[in-house]
Amino acid sequence: MSMRERVAELEARRAKIREMGGAERVARQHERGKLTARERMAALFDAGEWFEVGMHGRQMGPAGERSDTPADGVLCGFGKVEGRMVCAAAYDFTVKGGSIGQTGEEKVTRLRKMALTGRWPMVWLIDSAGARIDPSSGHHPDELSLFAGSGHLFREQVIMSGVVPQVAAMVGPGAAGTAYIPGLADFVPMVKDIGSMALGGPPLVKAVTGQDIDEQTLGGSKVHSEVSGVGDAEVKDDHECIALVKKYLSFMPSSADEAPPVVPCHDPVDRRDDALLDLLPESTRQAWDMYALIKLLVDHGEYLDIKKKFGRSIITCLGRIGGKSVGIVANQPKHLGGILENDSADKAARFIQICDAFNIPLVFLQDVPGFMVGSKVEHAGIIRHGAKMLHAMSAATVPKITVIVRKAYGAGYYVMCGRAYEPDLIVSWPTGEVSVMGAEGMVGIAGKKLFGGGEPDPEVKAQLVGLIQKNIDIYKVAGWGLVDDVIDPRDTRRAIAWGLELAQHKRVERPAKKRGVMPV
């Protein structure tokens, strides 16, 4: 056979593989409102160009025979995303439901090693039924014993953690084993009413528990974006999901060995906006929307909200100041008054760890009345959850800038990078209130002792609150040198920019140890 004949054979094989599971299954994929795995890869990479790894992989039988499983149900490759190299794996639901076969996992293992060795981000586009269980394949029953050697994919993800960014886009189901991929990833966008994940799908749940439940009710995008917190964002379709993956990666360095990319910025860092003077209501008992402040501080008012619908009393988002990536952790008074509880503490801890791992400076915007109290949260382990946030924030060595906007009460002040937690710059608005608790809380506790266990007269109570309030004075805190400055709110963006430049070459020395032990 001549070389031309061999090349013609190669192209014929490639064309057949590109048909994936066949025209009928591709049409069914489109009817469900989903792109195919190849369409997704083309949408991810610049100009749709990428190098495919393991294209000829197939499910292999005991005697070396090959099954009709094009690419063995998973596409692997690398290419440029906005000019930077990225490795990606897309599970193909048209081939055995995108299930994980032995050859397919060998391909993804190869790709993970490429990402780790080359220090490139790793993206999964998950549309998979999970581990492949196919009694009709004709394989020898003893092959089930091979399960004893499986599971290395999750160990490898843990090894990659904090070295390269990991994104798991849920563009379809992720059942059983594939559910741990997003569980270990850094960023998990989900397509609304299509993306799902669960350790056991509805058939297994029915078999084990007798419960009848559908895929979305069990572990759909709404469940994981609002209840469990495994999902980071809910989007309308594949195109929006892939666009969000690109946006997330734009804030990230290719690896922890690098600084985040700096983008051209035409928004002056010393921009002053009078709208900042009108954000806060006069009464500290009134709520306001922290998103309004964030929008006024970041470049061009643009940011990427992470876990927006989960742990809503705190905001975690990526933005830029002067073209440089920052991670913003901000209390949200509009929800529960900004009080910290179990989910919001977990959300913040996770976000702080990701920013610290990838050299993204942290900006804390404080308006926090403290932590939630009561039997419900105590029984749910709020001490443990709050300690996670405290641990993550204390351990972070990236530049940290703190802005006290209004309330800075109790342990909430601590976990939001108060003075004792080594912020590189800490400033306050004139409205800042740093205290062990608010004036009314103090009166509520001390008043009962002063008045023999009874409630004080309302007029007397108001006088006591006023007396205490006078002593919760940001200028007294500044007088002790415990904030670096009290600033005009209109200078907040400029102050943050100054702080970031001050700390850009920051080096932190800590006692030698194998690792810290975070509460879980």
Domains within the chain, CATH numbers bracketed: 3-135+146-251 (3.90.226.10), 274-437+473-502 (3.90.226.10)
- Residue 331: name the closest of 284, 378, 375 by CA: 284
Pairing of strands 51-53, 74-81: antiparallel
User: Which pLDDT score is estimated for 67?
Assistant: 67
Whole-number pLDDT of residue 135: 53
pLDDT at 223: 97
As a whole number of angstroms, the distance between CA 332 and CA 291 comes to 8
Cα 81 to Cα 79: distance, rounded to the nearest angstrom: 7
DSSP per residue, 469-499: HHHS-HHHHHHTT-SSEE--GGGHHHHHHHH
* pLDDT value at residue 63: 47
Q: Is 81 helix (H, G, I), strand (E, B) or coil?
A: strand
Which segments in the chain show pLDDT lower than 70? 60-67, 134-150, 446-454
**Phi, psi at 172, each rounded to 5°:** -175, -160
Predicted pLDDT at 68: 82
The owner of tokens 């610049």 is 46
CA atoms within 13 A on the CB side of 30: 9
Cβ-Cβ contacts under 8 Å for 222 (sequence gap 6 or more): 192, 193, 216, 234
**pLDDT at res. 201:** 86
Residue whose pair of structure tokens reads 């004080």 in the numeric block: 456
Give the span between the Cα atoms of 412 and 434, in whole angstroms.
Answer: 10
CA of 408: how far to CAs of 148, 218, 350, 472, in Å? 52, 39, 22, 10
Say if CB 500 and CB 362 are below 8 A apart: no
Task: Specify the DSSP element, H or E, that contains 223.
Answer: helix 221-223
Res 62: pLDDT = 55
Strand bridging mode 303-306 / 314-321? antiparallel
DSSP class of 384? H
Q: 91 pairs with which residues across the strands?
A: 74
Cβ atoms within 10 A of the Cβ of 88, count?
Answer: 26
Q: How many CA atoms lie within 13 A of 169 on its CB side?
A: 30
Helix (H, G, I), strand (E, B) or coil at 174: strand
Amino acid at 258: E
On whether the CB atoms of residues 219 and 206 are closer than 8 A, the answer is no
Residue for token pair 């594939």: 178
